[in-house]
Structure 1
Amino acid sequence: MNPTKSSLRISRRAFNGLVAGAAVLGAPALRAQSGNRIVLGQSAAFTGPAAQLGIQFHAGAKLYFDALNAQGGVGGQRIEIVQMDDGYEPDRCAENTTKLLAADVFALFGYIGTPTSLAALPLATKGQAPFVAPFTGAMGLRQPFNRLAFHLRASYNDETALIVRQLTNLGLNKIAVFHQNDSYGKAGLDGTTLALAARSLKPVATATVERNSVDVAAAVATITAAKPDAVVQISAYKSCAAYIRAARAAGYGGTFYNVSFVGTQALADELGKDGAGVVVSQVVPTPYSASKPITREFLELIGKGGNKVQPNFSSMEGFLSAKLFAEGLRRAPGKNLTRDSFISGMEAIGDQSFGGFQVSISPNDHVASRFAELSMLTGDGKVRT
């Protein structure tokens, strides 16, 4: 396959500005795109309180793409990513996305977070650019159906349904929700409320924290006063860790459940021994146990690369997302790759097993997986599934 000029060309001025904006992130030294390179654009948090989410996802994706490129890429074409830092702020993400689209990147890939992705998707739609594997499970990015958007992971509704089922099966019905005060937090709150309503229950208390903040005192006071059996947390690792510590200091003895976006290893690192017993739902296979072929492939490539990539759930999701993107490229019809032919290739994936991780994409369903399971922090910086 050879990209058409209209699908991959980057104007010199737009490209120079893009590289200048991305250079601080250690982006590859890129030249104007040639016929053997496919350039993806990624706006994500690479600095700030959510930085580890972007850093780890990107590391996992690059691990896969680097290995693929070393074998000749797909049809002789290398895949590269231009990263731009948005600090997990929607306005910065929108600005980055506008620059990436002006530079005519082939697709937008691996955006981190709900509020940022919600800012970017309308821009991608207007620019007719594929929007692949955002690191979010928000229903607002999946409904209504968008032909340009493809999702690797299960939704927050899937994750919160699993959490609520686990808690109620244990007889823990007094459930509170601590959530980020934005579209991500609302998506998780809505999923939890929906799952509780199916059991004729509702949250006993809710409280919020601002995005990129660890000011949790008011939330701790509100929720602790309701004496919940468990607190479902819908935020990133810094604020969730701050909440857990503050709640325990206030005498709360219940359990804490998080959805996958929290950044499991980052949360474990933040909490240390205070993490013992904290539960996190996951949407990709464990990166720590080589029980599945996909994990063995992941760990083997990390080893071959000198162990520079940390194996964790975020980097595993980046790895699988890159694998999904490459599979769509392989299946793109025709000799000349275009965005439309790539979309057709993605929709042709059908039902596949990526080393034991099942994916399914069709023309009418662009959500590849609904896999979700629970994991627990052990208090020694590790995660058990």
Structure 2
Amino acid sequence: MPVPPLRRKRVVTRRFHVRPWVLPALAALAGGCAAPEPDEADAAGAEVDSPVAGDVVDGTGQATPVADGVFEDSIVFGQAAAFSGDPAGLGINMRMGIRAAFEEANREDGIHGRELKLVSEDDRYESEMAVEKTEALIAHGVFGLIGAVGTPTSRVAEPIASRERVPYIGAFTGAGLLRGENQRYVVNLRASYDQETEEMVERLTTDLGISRIAILYQNDSYGQAGLSGVRKALEKRNMSLVGEDTYVRNTLAVKRAALNLRETNPQAVIIIGAYRPAAEFIRWARKLGMQAVYVNLSFVGSNDLLNELGWSGEGVVVTQVVPFPRDTGIPVVAEYRNALAMHDPAAQPGFISLEGYLVGRLVVEVLRKASDAATLPTRESFLQTLVESGPIDLGGFVVEYGATDNQGSDAVFLTVIRQGRYVAVNRLTR
């Protein structure tokens, strides 16, 4: 029996010239340098795919693009994301999923004979580095930016991309700042943080009858985006937070927050943070006797959170924006698992790399529609094709874009840690 596609669309109420020099990673792509091993790449802060053969070469021995990001035998994308520090797992897994999708396409003639390539740069989840890496990638003529990680970094990187008319595709954030009606150059795959937090509050109040909800959030634009979503969801129900506290990004300083929130006697605590401080908070809260349901946004990094918590994670809830990565009844999930195994047989399937894979698959689908053997893809034709395509079925996961709707999916899923692993659920139970 065919699997119905996952689709939940809402009613929406809401020239750059290539520089003559080449980013070292792009030069490696065109000049025949072998790609570094993953651990070497992470240490260096950049990773490139295998070399490109047959590109046009200028007098310096470097490949010359025939259009922005398009070479004779390849199309090159750039990624500025976190590959070091606490959020490194997010960037690494997004990159892994994107590369799995690109390599899968390349085994099937790529984009009408052109291979897809990815250049990844480490922005360390810091805004200043995000600006530097984004400007460098754009200056050297990548086709688009893909798989950025985080709200603070996207907050500064996206305006640069939009100003230079470079597609900013599949950022790993649900912040509203990327979801304006006039943000033509932004392509979001995932549901928004407002939609995730609405689902959290709906399930806590309807399924569990909870009325006392507190929040811990990262003290930056990511945390503020999550806080805003929770407040909106509560206000719809004539409710308010019983307590709120913060922690500083890239730290584990959450004990004070646990002590403070314990005094508010919450029945549930929503956590808007990264996996290590989230896990540290949950451990402290339980040690201090706080009997509450702990709910995390998808950005937390599900696999890393599970590994960090171990058996102390029992009952912790995480909202997701992609299907369950073990649900091979959905065709695209089965295809993802096969592509991931081809990319790295040792890789463990997970929500983040699945999201990266879906972003990569979306790019492949649209590029193939936007060009043919005789017609070069361009940034503008990519974006126009995306809008004009209507529903795009990636294999049981459907996305759709419009002239004023730059978010493809509205789907939110629930998972709970039970007996050391994630379980997909439709509703919460005691």
Cα deviation 1:26-82 (Å, max 9, x = unaligned): 423556353221111101111100110011111011001011112110111111111
Q: Deviations over 1:242-262 (max 9, x none)?
A: 110111111111110011111
**CA–CA distance in structure 2, aligned partners of residues 8 and 295 of structure 1:** 38
The equivalent of 1:14 in structure 2 is 22
Give yes or no for contact 1:14–1:99 (8 Å, CA) kept in 2: no
Shift in alpha-carbon separation, 1:165–1:265, aligned structure 2, 3 A: same
Give CA-to-partner distance per residue, 1:81-105, whole Å, 9 cap, x none.
1100011111111110011111111
Shift in Å, 1:304: 3.7
CA contact (8 A) 2:16 2:165 kept: no
Asked if 1 retains the 8 angstrom alpha-carbon contact of 2:282 and 2:294, the reply is yes
Once the two structures are superposed, what CA deviation does each residue of 1:210-254 show, in whole Å capped at 9, x if it has no partner? 111111012111211101000001011111011101111111111
The share of aligned pairs that are identical, in percent, is: 37
- SS of residue matched to 2:400: strand
Aligned-residue offset at 1:18: 6.2
Report matched runs for 1:32-71 at 5 Å: 32=63, 33=65, 34-71=71-108
Equivalent residues in 2 for 1:323-362, closer than 5 Å: 323-332=361-370, 335-362=375-402
Check the 8 A contact 2:77/2:119 in 1, yes or no. yes
Given the superposition, is the C-alpha separation of residues 306 and 48 from structure 1 closer, same or farther in structure 2, using an over 3 Å criterion? Answer: closer
Query: More helix by proportion, 1 or 2?
Result: 1
Q: Aligned partner of 1:376: which letter?
A: V
- Equivalence map 1:1-385=2 (5 Å): 9=18, 11=20, 13-16=21-24, 24-28=45-49, 32=63, 33=65, 34-169=71-206, 170-305=208-343, 307-332=345-370, 335-385=375-425
Between the two proteins, the alignment pairs up a number of residues equal to 379
How far apart in 2 are the matches of 1:194 and 1:61?
33
Which 5+ residue runs of structure 1 have no aligned equivalent? 1-5
SS at the partner of 2:399?
strand
**SS of corresponding position for 2:240:** coil
In 1, the alpha carbon distance for the partners of 2:117 and 2:26 equals 14
What do residues 277-309 of structure 1 show as CA deviations (whole Å, max 9, x unaligned)?
A: 000001000102212111111112233445233
Q: Which amino acid aligns with 2:104?
A: A
> How far off its partner does 1:378 sit?
1.8
Amino acid at match of 1:284: V
Counterpart of 1:247, as a letter, is: A
Does the residue aligned with 1:82 lie in a helix, a strand or coil? strand
Structure 2 unaligned blocks of 5 or more: 1-14, 29-40, 52-61, 66-70, 426-430
TM-score by length of structure 1 reads: 0.94
Letter in 2 for 1:119: V
Query: For the Cα contact (< 8 Å) 1:375–1:383, is it kept in 2?
Result: yes
Kindly report the root-mean-square deviation, in angstroms, between the aligned alpha carbons of the 2 structures.
2.0
Distance 2:308 2:46 in 1: 23
Structure 2 CA distance, aligned partners of 1:207 and 1:81? Answer: 39
Shift of 1:325: 1.1
1:230–1:181 CA distance, 2 compared to 1 (3 A): same
- 1:301-346 CA-to-partner distances (Å, cap 9, x unmatched) read 2334452332000000000000111122122167132211111121
